[in-house]
A and B are shown apart, each in its own frame.
Chain A
């Protein structure tokens, strides 16, 4: 069975500092992994996806994630946080025609 674990339910950073949101996955075969973001009262938006083409995946708004098979990780990073990055972030693994979500990490950005 496939699953993802988001290691932090809340992360707080200051504006301009790096962001790291951690995700570990479990899969018996090569997974397809995604990061989604949900801003307040908005729908889920795809940030980036990994589908085995390249281990370092660049997404929108300056986010990127690195697939590390040896560590079964797919952490999301951004060099410099912006106030508009405050939202909830979901690590997701794809299972044929459905998505399996992590429990979410709420990112707070302080001025």
Chain B
């Protein structure tokens, strides 16, 4: 079984530019999550898709961040325009469908992350 795949693995952009991160979840996984870890801080939740719908986007830092999951398969996370404080590692995770507390019986599978550097 292929794991969660994230592209690119690294991205270096200048402040003010746009970057789009992509996540391909495990096939058949309805739940898709984005997390990020900015330098020196803990990993924080950004948002959660169930299929193509945003279940919870309470962790999105501001309106410069836009996540989509058209068709309920892969997801993109766009940062526009990027700021210096957006630098960090962006993780994607997926899990199978379930009810309630999803990941207790359906573990999260994480990708290797995208390291974003904004200069």
In the complex, chain B residues whose CB is within 8 Å of the CB of A111: none
* Cα A104 to Cα B35 with chains together (Å): 15
Residue of B nearest to A45 (CB): B110
Interface string of B2-41 (1 = CB under 8 A from A): 0110000000000000000000000000010101000001
Task: Say yes or no: B91 contacts A99, CB within 8 Å.
Answer: no
Chain A interface size, under 10 / 10 to 19 / 20 to 34 / 35 or more: 20 to 34
**B107 touches A (CB below 8 Å):** yes
Is there an interface contact between A43 and B3, defined as CB atoms closer than 8 Å?
yes
Q: Which residues of B contact A97 (CB under 8 A)?
A: 31, 48, 55-56, 101-103
Cβ-neighbour of B4 out of A32, A36, A41, A43 (below 8 A)? A43
Nearest Cβ distance between residue B21 and chain A, in whole angstroms? 14
Count of B residues near A, CB < 8 Å?
28
A-B contact count (CB 8 A): 56
Q: Is A96 an interface residue, CB under 8 A from the partner?
A: yes
Interface secondary structure of A, over-half rule = strand
8 Å CB interface, A86-104 against B = 90, 94, 96-104
CB of A49 within 8 Å of the partner chain = yes
Chain B contact residues, CB within 8 Å of chain A: 3-4, 31, 33, 35, 41-45, 48, 55-56, 59, 91, 93, 100-104, 107-113
